[in-house]
A and B are shown apart, each in its own frame.
Chain A
């Protein structure tokens, strides 16, 4: 018998607005209006300001380790804007703060998290998202389960989950993709391919030419977009969210972007990557192209920029004040959230936490009257 082809596929790369802020007219349908672009540009700057201040807080010893989001905001905002706030559900890793803020997370929560306070994860009632997920690639399974519950209950909701290029090497990534595909859950997988997993570049992480092609194995619609192009990200994300909401199952988006900063404040990327590479990406910063576009449309200028920068500084300054003004958690918090109701052993440990005999009956160490053997 002659051999025959049983599978053929191709991956599309989508860009709507180039690095110079020029829109490709053929691609510009179903994207954002100028008013929307302006609002999202302003919001993006506010998120960038928080990111820069968070970095400074760490450097000045006022906050612990922090992973900067700088340069990746278009991927976060474009996808989150395609989802319905208060209805759709975001499942992040830790480099898409802007998406979380857009869907209602007060900005100081993220600072609180990195300041070593679990209350930064105490997502307010009505905000539809999980907190930051520190281990790599585990959260996509949670997103799959959440989306699955929406499907079971026939709720018109969609989940969106974020992860990096490195996470696609994890087994949980593939299990999540497979479960989502098999059960056709309303979920959008969003890979922020920022080229680096700490010190390991994408081409060492995988032999695959694209991250997007990994979704072909799970029979999912899959796209590679310019992740620094807000319009392209939004356009494709909207398509995926709408399809999921309509019962069309999961999709995959590879947002090609770049980690302009170190992995975290505990990292020094100069040890492993060439500054020339970083420099080559500086011009592709999503903020730069949006500003160029808005300026050509006479919607933005240096005066507006200055005024907005001042506004962002004031907002972020308040956010920092809020985060730093929150008093240290109480000692009891260590015990009180382990279970819905504290159990006797934990109660004993809580009671004796400051003694030399943790959990022990004080009578056994002669501290008070003790029952004697008969």
Chain B
């Protein structure tokens, strides 16, 4: 999608920014190909790849048969043969059929061949709830892939971060799972640099600095956390960290912050047990134990199946739950 003057005035949405990164990388590197269900003529069900097939042709923006393992497995083969494939899995819940190829093959090949064969692919996956979608269209499986050695897992939530991180992911020599919080796809616009740029994988972002308590979150929850902070009294100083990359985790940013504030609340959409918040909480006690003034709290999805959409907002961590957790942790 070429930029228009209107877009320049208004800025880009997350969808626009991802589309722009894809276009620029495909222009820059002829090895980059996109493959997936409905990504070509239809431009993807979220229109993230809109217009790209017109520019780059059917051989580089490829409508595949409806088979997630096939998409992932052939993308692995393309990567083995020197291409830079970007498979798209249409929804988080459809990663299941591709799980074996992603975790048992893409993630392991560098190790099992001692570097002889590597898999530079970027799998794009819309993630998370909040858009009134059907069953299996609203999950947050990032912890599963963060727990898979050999994968990098990224989940930006702003257009600027998404463009820079996607560009970095495509250029990365290893497989990257690039989660796109679908709730944020068109929720706002921001100015995005027109030229290509990268944001390094593995670096969190301090969204707002503070001294009383650290909130660590990622994906669409960043905006719930911002709303929660707005609900707090003005004299409460919250440091908000957007993880941006789940794995490899930016431990330094978290540790520096929690050593300063002594209190931490972690927020994510995924179920609480074995969610990535558990890992962060453990890391905090390993590295900040002597600094803690209160137990680390988690505001997360429940250990239940993601409900159908009538109840999805009751499931997802919202500003009210987050603000309560912050208030209690501050009062501990």
Contacts and interface: CB of A to CB of B under 8 A. Distances in A.
Interface string A311-355: 000000000000000000000010001111001111000000000
A373 B290 contact: yes
B98 to A, nearest CB: 10
B80 A130 contact: yes
B75 to A, nearest CB: 6
A45 interface: no
A216 interface: no
Nearest to B201: A343
A104 to B, nearest CB: 13
A138 B104 contact: yes
Contact of B73 (A142, A150, A360): A142
B286 A345 contact: no
Interface stretch (A53-61, A73-81, A174-182, A293-301): A174-182
A18 interface: no
A145 B80 contact: yes
Question: Which size class do B's interface residues fall under?
Answer: 35 or more
Given A135-B104, A149-B78, A373-B290, A141 B112 contact: no
A128 B154 CA distance: 33
Given A145-B77, A338-B110, A339-B110, A359 B286 contact: yes
Contact of A152 (B59, B111, B202, B286): B59
Nearest to A178: B65
Given A118-B114, A345-B248, A364 B259 contact: no
A143 B105 CA distance: 13
Interface string B141-155: 000000001101000
A337 B69 contact: no
A264 interface: no
Contact of A361 (B65, B117, B287): B287
A176 B77 CA distance: 11
Q: Which of B74, B76, B85, B115 has the most CB atoms of chain A within a 10 A radius of its CB?
A: B74
A131 B69 CA distance: 20
Contact of A142 (B62, B76, B82): B76
Contacts of A131: 112-113, 117
Contact of A146 (B77, B112, B118, B249): B77
B44 interface: no
Contacts of B152: 339
B33 interface: yes
Question: Which size class do A's interface residues fall under?
Answer: 35 or more
Contacts of A333: 114
- SS class of chain A's interface: helix, strand, loop or mixed? helix
A179 B111 contact: no
B262 interface: yes
A225 B169 CA distance: 46
A344 B73 CA distance: 29
Nearest to B172: A340
A372 B290 contact: yes
Given A343-B248, A361-B287, A118 B111 contact: yes
Contacts of B116: 121-124
A337 B259 CA distance: 33
A119 B149 CA distance: 19
Q: Which of A124, A175, A178, A345 has the most CB atoms of chain B within a 10 A radius of its CB?
A: A175
Nearest to B78: A145
A69 to B, nearest CB: 21
B81 A138 contact: no
Nearest to A144: B74
Contacts, number: 150
Nearest to B79: A145
B74 A360 contact: no
Interface string A267-308: 000000000000000000000000000000000000000000
A371 B80 CA distance: 47
A370 interface: yes
B306 to A, nearest CB: 25
B81 A145 contact: yes
A339 B287 contact: no
B111 A337 contact: yes
B56 to A, nearest CB: 12
Contact of A149 (B82, B172, B291): B82
Contacts of A176: 70, 73-74
A309 interface: no
Contacts of B101: 138, 141, 172
A15 to B, nearest CB: 33
Nearest to A177: B70
27 contacts: A122-B116, A123-B113, A131-B113, A138-B104, A141-B69, A141-B77, A141-B101, A142-B73, A145-B73, A145-B80, A148-B74, A152-B78, A152-B83, A175-B69, A176-B70, A337-B115, A338-B150, A339-B150, A343-B248, A344-B251, A345-B251, A357-B286, A359-B286, A361-B286, A364-B287, A364-B290, A373-B259
Given A123-B113, A343-B248, 15 more contacts: A122-B114, A130-B80, A138-B104, A141-B72, A142-B77, A145-B75, A145-B81, A152-B78, A175-B73, A178-B65, A179-B67, A182-B64, A182-B65, A360-B286, A360-B287
Interface of A: 89, 118-119, 121-124, 130-131, 135, 138, 140-150, 152, 171-172, 175-176, 178-179, 182-183, 333, 337-340, 343-346, 357, 359-361, 364, 370-373
Complex A-B, nearest 4 residue pairs according to Cβ-Cβ distance, in ascending order: A145-B77, A141-B73, A175-B70, A149-B81
Interface of B: 33, 59, 62, 64-65, 67, 69-70, 72-83, 85, 97, 100-101, 104-105, 110-118, 149-150, 152, 172-174, 202, 248-249, 251-252, 259, 262, 286-287, 289-291
